[in-house]
Chain A
């Protein structure tokens, strides 16, 4: 990954990910930016947006954007379509406890346009 997980203040590039209506309700979409695939989720039920790496660390598949959204307790999560490993959308932690943590990125919406915040590794 050429991008790291940082706080909003540290973001140094806000990438335009498309119009809010390009995203399915309670679902994800995937964008390509400088060779990286980033999954962006419109969690309508919670009225929140999230972004993570698109790669599922389990079998190294570019697939998380097609995953199903849900919650475990208070934690919003995405389930990989292959083997239903679930990851926290907030921290990227694998909730089944056996896979690597995935990257998460900040998302902001301005004038109905969705931006994902990336921090380029120096």
Chain B
């Protein structure tokens, strides 16, 4: 049997083993690695900072190796290759003989010869052990610097930030990511990193690391310096080719074993793959080319196939950093290539996109995306596959609001397009698994093709291909709520309404299966409330926890209570009552962003007592817990403000009282401003009303959650009555057609035709449903009752607010501490 010895047990070594197993090679395989653990995912190393969980990074267990008949030796370093006798020796003097030897020794972080780099506090960023040392040291200090502003350096900076260290990046070049970004791009990335709290020092050559035993700072050649207690060096990589010279293997000028397109070194029985291999004078510092090299070697060993060759690799990249989207592909600069660049830069939004188009306008040569890299996958594909460009290539990067995505779909991709570069999976492979093998979801595709199992960057595109292919096969893509109901939210809405279904159990019995779950119960609860507006307490256990207990659950099992204060207007007497209640129950008190007062730290047992006090003083539930109307914020308007055009407070109160308690797919907020100065920030709400000389402007859809959106104009210069009528229609239309937990902004964007269509439906009543929507709203308004009041007046319901059912005691495990004169829960 052919004997294979693989030196190194990194990502590429593992991939070679996996491919040999897959191809059912008959060889006997021995893997020798110097690290203590079996191969792990270095690409996602930073995740280790979050949970220090090495298992999550593991690529295969020891059992995997033994189950597949592979001998795995760890914590041993190969120190010598004897080519004549075809054997290797480790530092423990064990020997292993081979017929083929594969070097997969990877690389080490390059440490520039700066005076003082051997001081305590200087680290490199390469292995789990490096991270463990960094994390331990990081606990003792308060600041860190990263040497090197490339891809990895910025990732290291993010890791330092996550360790709560004051973080700086020191880069020799005049801009960040000098190999991927142009000047404008680098500048924008710099300001984005600064927004994250990272200090960026450019054009700095480090002359020495200061300090005695441990480092205390860095000195630069321009005579400036930086006080810093810890340094992470990320100045590039050095291939681990130390086994080469002594064994007579040819090593490239800039390091790395010289290989041909079959990955053979100058000894045809010795291969080199991954980051230790130098192909055409190039070291590839990414996993995907390493995996491709592993395939080349596996083909030769398993199938004696010398036709499959390595032909270089595209080095396009997308940064994994959280909070900053950065990507570059192809030739980002085209410095010496004739081309016509197209770029858009929106300083305010922090977006810069550049495309390099070939002179004949037919192909994409490369590009840069910062601040919004959603279209990276698509553009990268257009580049690799040399696809034809649309008539106005600028459409590819200048997406108008509501269009979403590059102006070209996955449909246009050829079947040969490589979608997953880590695992070399083409669009055709993915389509086949869907069409021929009946795969219908992402997990199935991962299993069948391995696409998306590497860096994961291709998953959005894989998903698009999945949906597109299923659609073409005539399958409707249905967003079924969960395993218990084979219906979409919209369908359930109709079923409930048409069949006059009033309870979850009835719906489950007629249209569902199983016993429900935490996904469908609250969704149906919200539908029932939106359609009938009956007391949610009647079916308490299908409500999400906040709705079930009519208060917001916070840390430690305590609750917060928020009484409604419509429009933010409150009498001194009521204000005093809130203060008294807070004092009596020792509640942490805070003014909210929505003009209310939040009372935190109430125990379950105390909730009914607190509500009782508040209700007696004329308050009612603020519905801060449900997916329902929260607040309508107002400025003071014409009653006090010298600019005010109309009474914004009065109108806000009117609107808030109209829609209070209204249940919807997501929480709703509104705002009313007395003039265009917008002191109520009405356009940052689901609906906003702003006074004009001639009446009011009504804006809608200003709630995008994590992706903030401004509301857009639905109707201008209209009367109060018209505002209310359009709002009735708008809110009801949203409630009826949005997905569960879909906010107004994304809902509006996904509506075919966007805001223009909405205007037709709401203002022009093009569907003729205006009256219907208004009537539905009237029913909901008529059915409103304060849930708190019901809860305290109904003894059976009131009993539910006890932490224990067999004693009146509070939860003995609940712990609080005092800070700034108030009570806080202890952290979890």
Contact = CB atoms under 8 A, between A and B. Distances in A.
Interface of A: 16-18, 22-27, 29-33, 35, 37, 43, 45-46, 55, 59-63, 66-73, 76-77, 79, 81-82, 84, 86
A52 to B, nearest CB: 15
A84 to B, nearest CB: 5
* Dominant secondary structure of chain B at its interface with chain A: loop
Nearest to B827: A59
Nearest to A19: B805
Contacts of B807: 32
Given A32-B809, A61-B556, A81 B545 contact: yes
Interface stretch (B2-10, B516-524, B570-578): B516-524
B813 A37 contact: yes
A61 B518 contact: no
Contacts of A16: 806
Contacts of B556: 61
A46 B505 CA distance: 12
B18 to A, nearest CB: 23
A17 B805 contact: yes
A84 B803 contact: no
Nearest to B814: A62
Given A45-B515, A76-B515, A29 B805 contact: yes
A89 to B, nearest CB: 11
A22 B811 contact: no
Kindly name the residue among A59, A67, A68, A82 whose own CB sees the greatest number of chain B CB atoms within 10 A.
A68
Contact of A45 (B516, B549, B799, B811): B516
B515 A71 contact: yes
26 contacts: A23-B805, A24-B541, A26-B541, A26-B542, A27-B540, A30-B803, A30-B804, A30-B805, A31-B805, A32-B807, A35-B812, A45-B508, A45-B515, A61-B557, A63-B553, A66-B548, A66-B553, A68-B521, A68-B542, A69-B516, A69-B541, A72-B517, A76-B515, A81-B544, A84-B518, A86-B518
Given A26-B515, A71-B515, 17 more contacts: A17-B805, A22-B799, A22-B805, A23-B805, A24-B800, A27-B541, A29-B805, A31-B806, A32-B807, A37-B811, A59-B828, A62-B811, A66-B553, A69-B515, A71-B484, A71-B516, A81-B553
A28 B518 CA distance: 14
Contacts of A67: 545
A74 to B, nearest CB: 8
Contact of A70 (B517, B799, B803): B517
A70 B805 contact: no
B514 interface: yes
A88 B69 CA distance: 36
Contact of A66 (B517, B542, B549): B549
A77 B517 CA distance: 8
Interface of B: 483-484, 505, 508, 514-518, 521-522, 540-542, 544-545, 548-549, 553, 555-557, 799-800, 803-807, 809, 811-814, 828
Nearest to A41: B541
A70 B521 contact: yes
A35 B805 CA distance: 14
A68 B548 CA distance: 10
B483 A73 contact: yes
A92 B111 CA distance: 50
A67 B548 CA distance: 10
A31 B808 CA distance: 10
B541 A71 contact: no
A36 to B, nearest CB: 10
Contacts of B541: 24-27, 68-69
Contacts of B544: 68, 81
Contacts of A82: 553
B557 A31 contact: no
A9 B290 CA distance: 59
* Dominant secondary structure of chain A at its interface with chain B: strand
Nearest to B548: A66
Kindly name the residue among B483, B484, B515 whose own CB sees the greatest number of chain A CB atoms within 10 A.
B515
Contacts of A61: 555-557, 828
A68 B89 CA distance: 60
Nearest to B504: A26
Nearest to B553: A81
A17 B806 contact: yes
A62 B813 contact: yes
Contacts of B800: 24
B518 A79 contact: yes
A62 to B, nearest CB: 5
Contact of A71 (B517, B542, B545, B549): B517
Kindly name the residue among B540, B545, B553, B828 whose own CB sees the greatest number of chain A CB atoms within 10 A.
B545
A55 B813 CA distance: 10
B397 to A, nearest CB: 38
A79 B812 CA distance: 23
Given A24-B540, A68-B541, A77-B517, A32 B804 contact: yes
B805 A60 contact: no
B714 to A, nearest CB: 35
A12 B614 CA distance: 47
Nearest to B556: A61
Contacts of B828: 59-61
A84 B807 CA distance: 27
A16 B807 CA distance: 12
A30 B484 CA distance: 27
A81 B555 CA distance: 11
Contacts of A72: 483, 517
Given A27-B540, A63-B557, A71 B805 contact: no
B508 to A, nearest CB: 7
Rank and list the top 8 A-B pairs by shortest CB-CB distance, nearest first. A70-B517, A81-B545, A27-B541, A79-B518, A59-B828, A29-B805, A45-B515, A71-B515
B518 A68 contact: yes
Contacts of A25: 541
Contacts of A33: 806
B627 to A, nearest CB: 15
Nearest to A78: B518
A109 B809 CA distance: 25
A30 B812 CA distance: 13
Contacts of A45: 505, 508, 515-516
A55 B522 CA distance: 23
A37 B804 CA distance: 8
Contacts of B521: 68, 70
Contact of B804 (A31, A55, A60): A31
A71 B514 contact: yes
Contacts of B806: 16-18, 31-33
A32 B810 CA distance: 10
Kindly name the residue among B508, B518, B557 whose own CB sees the greatest number of chain A CB atoms within 10 A.
B518
A74 B703 CA distance: 39
Contacts of A59: 828
A112 B518 CA distance: 28
Contacts of B814: 62
A2 to B, nearest CB: 15
A69 B514 CA distance: 12
A12 to B, nearest CB: 20
A121 to B, nearest CB: 20
A71 B519 CA distance: 11
A70 B557 contact: no
B386 to A, nearest CB: 43
Contacts of B483: 72-73
A37 B814 CA distance: 12
A17 to B, nearest CB: 7
Contacts of A30: 803-805
B557 A62 contact: yes
A68 B514 CA distance: 15
A29 B805 CA distance: 6
A32 to B, nearest CB: 5
A88 to B, nearest CB: 13
A16 B805 CA distance: 11
Contacts of B515: 26, 43, 45-46, 69-71, 76
A16 B516 CA distance: 29
B443 to A, nearest CB: 14
